[in-house]
Amino acid sequence: MRFAHIAFLATLLSTVFLTACSSDIDVSCEPDCTDRACGPDPVCGHSCGICGDNATCEDGLCECEHQVCNGLCCAADEFCRNNRCLLPTDPCFDDTTCATQHRECISVQDEAICGDCLSGHYDFNGQCDVDCTGRVCGPTPNGDLDCGTCPGATDYCTSEGLCEDDCAGRNCGPSPHAGFDCGSCSAEGEICMLGQCGVPEWQNPAPLGTIPWQAAYDNCNTLTFDGHNDWRLPTINELRALIVGCPNMETGGACEVTDSCLYMDYCDGDDCGACPWEQGPSDGCYWPAEMQGECAYYWSVSEIADRDGFVWTMHYAHAGLGSKDKDGISFVRCIRRATP
């Protein structure tokens, strides 16, 4: 019996040895299955994987023969319904009740039964509500769960529950969503222009005549002046940067109407009151001596947050804020960033 076992093992080892020697696959070769999910690798011929049911391998990738459904391949007689491959005869094929309730539809004796909450939802007092799946901050849409807080000092939580740096691409002024301080400008002549420090260049002299807001906006965007074509309508912060001789209305003054505070009812307080009429340092105007143009109201691009169709304006005869309907008329002076 012992000799019979030895003979069997010898025959088996011989077969394995001959098979390995006769194979075309080099067992010492390092296979490369980069970007391949199936079929032989192009270097050694080793298998990179086998496709699942109802799929074929095409150029190293598994391709569904019929429909793709939630990462699976449906059979030829199946269709994707509520993220599942179902036959048209399945009770859940045309289900809307369970889908509306965000519950799994289960076929039981030719009847559709609503089961557990779908992925991404949880059971809250018998209702399937959205959970924190895919969210890292803020509340769930219904407010039942707190998904966390953002770690960065200037991070804000988006409506999708993701953290984003609100000061990304900005080096000054308030952040656009949460109002974080993104920095200040310290170089001589610089102001904060749409989140970037720069020296402003003003259209000077300002054009004669008053025009509606949309015309002012379009004229600045299409203006070619002084060898440049990157002009635009200024913000209320930028119009305030021109104020000279009226401390409350100058940049950093007590008036709270800024690019980050555009509500009339909340931001436009007593500190935004105008200075004496035509008592400014430049022939009565509250702007630098080199400015030329009518000492009057000028359009900004800044819309009043709680007044539909109205925008902020600045009157340089008394350094006073104004609010005008876009269909009204005012003067316009375009601006551009002179430094990169």
Task: Return the CATH number at 206.
Answer: 3.10.100.10
Residues 316 and 206 in one domain: yes
Q: Which residue has the tokens 């998904």?
A: 147
* Residue entry with tokens 């030719």: 110
Domain extent, residue 231, equals 199-337
Please list, in sequence order, all residues whose beta carbon lies within 8 angstroms of the beta carbon of residue 316, skipping any fewer than 6 positions away: 242, 243, 280, 285, 286, 287, 295, 296, 298
**205 & 332 share domain:** yes
**Per-residue pLDDT of the chain in tens (340 residues, 90 and over written 9):** 443 343 333 443 344 343 444 445 556 788 889 989 899 988 888 899 999 889 999 988 999 988 888 888 999 898 988 778 889 989 888 888 888 888 889 988 888 899 988 888 888 778 888 888 889 999 988 777 899 999 999 999 999 999 999 999 999 988 988 889 999 998 988 999 999 999 999 999 999 999 999 999 999 999 999 999 999 999 999 999 999 999 999 998 999 999 989 999 999 988 998 899 999 999 999 999 999 999 999 999 999 999 999 999 999 999 999 999 999 999 999 999 997 6
Instruction: Identify the pLDDT of residue 143.
Output: 76
Same domain, 224 and 332: yes
Same domain, 215 and 314: yes
145 inside domain? no
Q: What is the pLDDT of residue 25?
A: 53
To the nearest 10°, report the CA torsion of 290, 295, 299, 303: 110
**Residue 279 counted as domain residue:** yes
Torsion of CA 184, 189, 191, 194, to 10 degrees: -120
Whether 87 contacts 103, CB under 8 Å:
no
Which one-letter amino acid corresponds to residue 226? D
Look at the pTM and tell me if it is higher than 0.75. Answer: no
Evaluate whether residue 4 is within a structural domain: no
Question: Does residue 15 form part of some domain?
Answer: no
Shared-domain flag, residues 231 and 108: no
| Structural domain ending residue among the three candidates 117, 132, 154 | 117
Q: What's the pLDDT at 167?
A: 95
Domain count, the chain: 2
The domain boundary residue, chosen from 63, 98, 117 = 117
Question: What's the rounded Cα separation, in Å, for the pair 333 and 234?
Answer: 8
- Which residue, 69, 95, 117, sits at the end of a domain? 117
Burial class (CB in 10 A: 0-12, 13-18, 19+), 14: exposed
271: in domain = yes
209 and 327 belong to one structural domain? yes
Question: What's the confidence (pLDDT) of residue 253?
Answer: 93
> How far, rounded to the nearest angstrom, does the alpha carbon of residue 38 sit from its chain's CA centroid?
36
In a domain, 45, yes or no: no
C-alpha distance from residue 57 to each of 37, 155, 231, 258 (Å)? 8, 44, 56, 60
* C-beta separation of 164 from 189 below 8 A: no
Asked if residue 32 belongs to a domain, the reply is no
